[in-house]
Amino acid sequence: MTRRKTEHFHITKLKRTFNRETSTFTFNIQYETAAKTQTQRTREVAEAFGLGTDNQQKFTILDNTNLKIQQGDIVLVTGDSGSGKSVLLKAIKHDLGDEAADTRDLTINPTEPIIETVGENTTEALELLSKVGLNDAFLFLRSYQQLSDGQKHRYQIARLAESGKKWWLLDEFCSVLDRDTAKIVSFNLQRLARERGVTVVAATTHEDLTADLAPNVQVHKRFGKEITVNYVPNAGIAECSLVKEMHIEKATHADYKQLSQFHYRSGRCAAPRNIFALKRAGELCGIIIYAYPTPFCFGRSQVWKGTLNQLMREVSVVSRVVVHPKYRGIGLGAKLVAETLALAGTPFVEAVAVMARYNPFFEKAGMERVMESKPNTHLSAALKRLELLGFDAGLLANASYCREKILTVGKEAVADVLEELSRKGGIARKAIIALPTTFPTHEAFMTKLTEQNEEDLAKALRKLSFLTQPKIYLFWKKPEKPENC
């Protein structure tokens, strides 16, 4: 017969204090353990090793340990599993109370698109998700359960950031991530926390995050009561350690095709003038394409004037900037632009970008933000007509959705909308349907329109949706060489 014991784990000493005047935590934690039950095997073990089954073993985790943490510090707690890291975080959390946000306490809806779960509005959501490296148009529409482990860590940091709390606690930090992703997440975390003056306490078994987390306080917890605390004044880091391993080199269209799937626009782009890749050893991390400019572009007249021939000779346009999802959030977009502007082949470079409204990497790279596009009345009217036909304007970028709706409402109804747009807004003709001439007439547009099938019209509506998006126009001028004195 088994005789049950009422006690198998008992904290015998628990004292923690937080002195707010000195920003110092003091911890004393000790516990006892004993076998929960007496069985034939526990009795045999006790007999073999000369133990009593009622004997309790005492363990001291923290013995009068002082830990000074200033507001805005980044604290990294390392140590083996079972050494007491989680106990330390729980003690800190208990003393802070409502002042701390803990990743383990986050309430997450696993099925709702993440764009719906952060920020007060779309703009706030896009800015916050971009700051943690979730700046992919496709990712915005995914749910939490559809994210990878690395993306889930980034999302959790975004949720901490919007909590408004001045202390962020992260146990088992990056424990399940590959080491490259862990370093990127660490860099993102410390950068966002330092921007906001937030204190971070992160615990992990891994010893390779120090360079990218750049902690002000380094705590190493060993088994028993042994603990080492090092303070690093003025800690900080300008770039992720992985960036130091990357370089720019000339690339080909084949390189772009490898990453084109990660761009929210179609894989096809304008004829390139120059292509450059960002590589880490043999790994393709990012790509930038410089192309020839279109004859008309909003904002250009504010900073450049000349003939069409001059335009083609003097101006390049940034057609694509694509960073591999693994490496997003560590400034590679700005690096790609900054290190290739002077290599584009022209004294002037322009860019028109939707994401520039939320992620100013072009400006960080040295380009000037000139203006934001205003809604085009003709394009807006075309969208309203499509909505009256039953189209959801928010889904026009999805060609499959457009094709299904066209099959329902009929090609003629959609063609009528595009015909009116061509008559009133001729500038959109070539942008919506591919035409051979630079300045196509309405008649040429209509001739081409009659040849379009459902698939072609779906692509035209997709292009129409891009034209209606608010965009930022940016410009760069090659610095003049100083005259010799």
- Output the pLDDT for position 6: 36
Q: Which of 223, 175, 172 is nearest to 202 (CA)?
A: 172
53 and 110 in a single domain? The answer is no
Tell whether 382 is covered by a domain. Answer: yes
Q: Please tell me the predicted confidence (pLDDT) of residue 400.
A: 81
Tell me if 473 is assigned to some domain: no
22 and 7 fall within a common domain: yes
141 and 87 together in one domain:
yes
| Domain termination residue (choose one: 41, 68, 95) | 68
Residue 89 and residue 227 in one domain:
yes
Q: So what's the pLDDT on residue 10? A: 46
- Domain harbouring 294, CATH code: 3.40.630.30
Burial of 214: CB neighbours in 10 Å, binned 0-12, 13-18, 19+: buried
Residues of the chain with pLDDT under 70: 1-16, 31-37, 50-59, 264-268, 425-428, 483-485
Question: Token digits for 371?
Answer: 């203006």
CB 476, CB 317: distance < 8 Å:
no
Number of domains the chain is built from: 4
**Rounded Cα distance, 470 and 355, in Å:** 10
Domain identity same for 11 and 93: no
How many helices (H) and strands (E) the chain has is answered by: 17, 18
Would you say the C-alpha torsion 219, 221, 222, 227 has a positive or negative sign?
positive
Residue 92's domain spans which residues? 69-238
Considering the domain architecture, whether residues 118 and 228 belong to the same structural domain is answered as yes
One domain, residues 143 and 179: yes
- 281 token code pair: 């050893």
| CATH number of the CATH domain containing 118 | 3.40.50.300
Q: What pLDDT is stored for residue 36 in this prediction?
A: 60
129 to each of 139, 173, 314, 459, how far by Cα in Å? 10, 19, 36, 29
Would 475 be classed as within a structural domain? no
* 33 in a structural domain: yes
Tell me: do 168 and 36 sit in the same domain.
Answer: no
Give the per-residue pLDDT at 457.
92
Together in a domain, 336 and 408 = no
Shared domain check, 153 and 141: yes
CB count in 10 Å sphere of residue 43:
13
Q: Does 217 share its domain with 75?
A: yes
Q: Is residue 366 part of a domain?
A: no
Task: Among 68, 85, 115, identify where a domain stops.
Answer: 68
